[in-house]
């Protein structure tokens, strides 16, 4: 079954005019090495070829989006993708928390950027976590689009490995709860406290950050605006991590609508395999595929199976072909003429 993007006119009816103007967000997450970047770039490419205005962004510290698209994204800027009329791509620059690669603090902590979440946090919290840097990357990309006056219909986020990405997606929910409790506490005792100017400014910062986190939460938990695609492979450990990620995201209200099972060997050819190792791998995969059906088949989630191919997926033509398969497997049954999703 093809990937189902749940954005529709019916869901749009519940949005106000500001939300209607917002791009839809598709987040991809999965265990490292399952082909997540390729799947992200492929689906984004196919949607762009269909006429949607797309930006695809990598927030994985080990960027490989540029490699998949066959272009240099190492400067951290937003670039048009060759071969498309309205597709953009970005790999935000990665540096240590609180400092840029040049040591001037301009990449990670926002430098003099007044809208930087980390700048707003100031000394209210401990040094910002890696989870916050992912949120900051997304916010910075959004602001760069505003500065470019670029309009996009859909944002595709190539997430970091699922454990880290899950912590990142949980972060605004937890911080919003913390800031809310802190605000209530301070509000309850403010009559007996004498605030100086700095303390009043700190309270303002807390309010601004709390509002930013609430907005981010509202977007992520609204099925009309955001959805999540999990990517896995037919191996027991990968499936276990996928199940944990699915349950954790659903628990905080982030909707998972799709599961892509990548790199599947053809089970119909097991008996004719001359390679005993290959035959055993195919049998093991068939067992895991059945476990996937048993554990997630009853959920409201679309499962798309992608075969193990004999070439890499790189470049415009290969990505579009794979993306078309993801959207409609019946239209591209001879996937082996494409390339391997790695």
Please report whether residue 39 resides in a domain: yes
pLDDT digits (tens, 9 = 90+) for 203-229: 666 666 666 667 777 888 888 888 999
Please report whether residue 199 resides in a domain: no
Beta-carbon contacts of 305 under 8 Å, excluding residues fewer than 6 positions away, are: 261, 264, 289, 329
pLDDT-based confidence at 337, cuts 50/70/90? very low
Tokens linked to 188: 């309850």
Tell me: pLDDT of 57 over 70: yes
Please report whether residue 186 resides in a domain: no
Q: At what angle do helices 236-251 and 276-296 cross, to 10 degrees?
A: 20
Please report whether residue 78 resides in a domain: yes
Q: How many domains does one find in the chain?
A: 1
CATH code, domain carrying 121: 3.40.50.300
Least confident of 84-93, 272-281, 321-330: 272-281
Considering only CA atoms, which of 308, 305, 299, 293 is closest in space to residue 341? 308
Q: Give ∠ CA 39-43-46 in degrees, rounded to 5.
A: 140
> With contact defined as beta carbons under 8 Å apart, do 261 and 234 qualify?
yes
Please report whether residue 204 resides in a domain: no
What's the residue count for the chain? 342
Domain residues for 265? Answer: 19-175+223-337
Tell me: pLDDT of 114 over 70: no
* DSSP 8-state secondary structure symbol assigned to residue 192: G
DSSP for 251-290, written as a single string: HTT--EEEEEEEEE--GGGSTT-S-HHHHHHHHHHHHHHH
Helix (H) or strand (E) holding 54: strand 54-58
The pLDDT of residue 22 is 81
Between 17 and 251, the more confident residue is 251
Between 258 and 149, the more confident residue is 258
Tell me: pLDDT of 124 over 50: no
Please report whether residue 214 resides in a domain: no
Dihedral of the CA atoms 36, 264, 251, 22 (nearest 10)?
40
pLDDT digits (tens, 9 = 90+) for 250-306: 888 888 999 999 999 877 666 666 788 888 888 899 999 999 999 988 888 999 999
pTM exceeding the 0.85 threshold for the entire prediction = no
Report CA-CA distances (Å) from 213 to 16, 19, 29, 89, 199: 19, 16, 21, 25, 21
């Amino acid at each position: 079954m093809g990937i189902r993007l749940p954005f529709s006119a019916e869901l749009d009816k519940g949005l106000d005019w500001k939300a209607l103007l917002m791009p839809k967000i598709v987040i991809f997450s999965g265990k490292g090495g399952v082909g997540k970047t390729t799947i992200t770039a492929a689906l984004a490419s196919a949607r762009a070829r269909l006429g949607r205005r797309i930006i695809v962004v990598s927030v994985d510290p080990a960027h490989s989006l540029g490699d998949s698209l066959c272009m240099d994204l190492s400067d951290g800027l937003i670039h048009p993708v060759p071969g498309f009329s309205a597709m953009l791509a970005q790999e935000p620059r990665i540096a240590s928390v609180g400092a840029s690669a040049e040591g001037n603090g301009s990449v990670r902590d926002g430098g003099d950027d007044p809208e930087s979440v980390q700048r707003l946090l100031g000394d209210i919290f401990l040094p910002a976590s890696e989870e916050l840097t992912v949120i900051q990357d997304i916010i910075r990309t959004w602001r760069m689009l505003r500065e470019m006056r670029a309009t996009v219909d859909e944002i595709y986020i190539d997430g970091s490995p699922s454990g880290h990405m899950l912590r990142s997606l949980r972060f605004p929910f937890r911080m919003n709860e913390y800031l809310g409790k802190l605000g209530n506490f301070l509000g309850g005792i403010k009559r007996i406290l004498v605030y100086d100017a700095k303390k009043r400014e700190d309270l303002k910062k807390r309010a601004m950050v709390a509002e930013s986190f609430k907005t981010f939460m509202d977007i992520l938990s609204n099925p009309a605006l955001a959805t999540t695609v999990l990517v896995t492979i037919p191996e027991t450990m990968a499936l276990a991590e996928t199940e944990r990620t699915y349950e954790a995201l659903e628990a905080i209200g982030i909707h998972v609508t799709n599961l892509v099972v990548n790199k599947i060997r053809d089970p119909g050819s097991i008996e004719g395999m001359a390679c005993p190792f290959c035959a055993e791998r195919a049998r093991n995969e068939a067992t895991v595929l059945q476990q996937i059906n048993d554990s997630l088949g009853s959920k409201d989630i679309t499962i798309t199976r992608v075969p193990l191919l004999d070439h890499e997926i790189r470049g415009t033509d290969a990505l579009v072909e794979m993306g078309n398969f993801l959207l409609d497997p019946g239209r591209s049954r001879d996937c082996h003429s494409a390339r391997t999703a790695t």
